[in-house]
Structure 1
């Protein structure tokens, strides 16, 4: 094996074993959930399903945040 192969294997092992900081993961999840919620509510407002209000965005963002938290939680 070459040195590059060893470095690549070591890097992959490090990434797979890293759990990351849960606070950073929660913040990133909250930001992405809010952006996705805004996009979903904006699209539903264009179609006429729901109006684009802060309350609707917050409710959808909380739902998406909780769903992604539960789905990505390790057993």
Structure 2
């Protein structure tokens, strides 16, 4: 019988992967001149992506 796993581990992995992806996206957008790179922007993008992922997949 399979278990769903510990929700704390799933949320931690979600936050780490969201942070990496958000950093790459914000850095890429700053390279093409669409967005200025800042860690605050990366943080907001990470929280938004983690929330969307949680609502779409984990809930």
> Which TM class, normalised by the smaller chain length?
over 0.9
Q: Which has the larger radius of gyration?
A: 1
What TM-score do you get using the length of structure 1 for normalisation?
A: 0.74
- When the two chains are superposed, the root-mean-square deviation of aligned CA atoms in Å is 1.0
Q: Which runs of 5+ in 2 are unaligned?
A: none
Q: Which runs of 5+ in 1 are unaligned?
A: 1-13
If asked which structure has higher relative contact order (CA below 8 Å, sep 6+), I would say 2
1:49-68 residue CA offsets vs partner (Å, 9 max, x unmatched): 11110111001001100000
What TM-score do you get using the length of structure 2 for normalisation?
A: 0.92
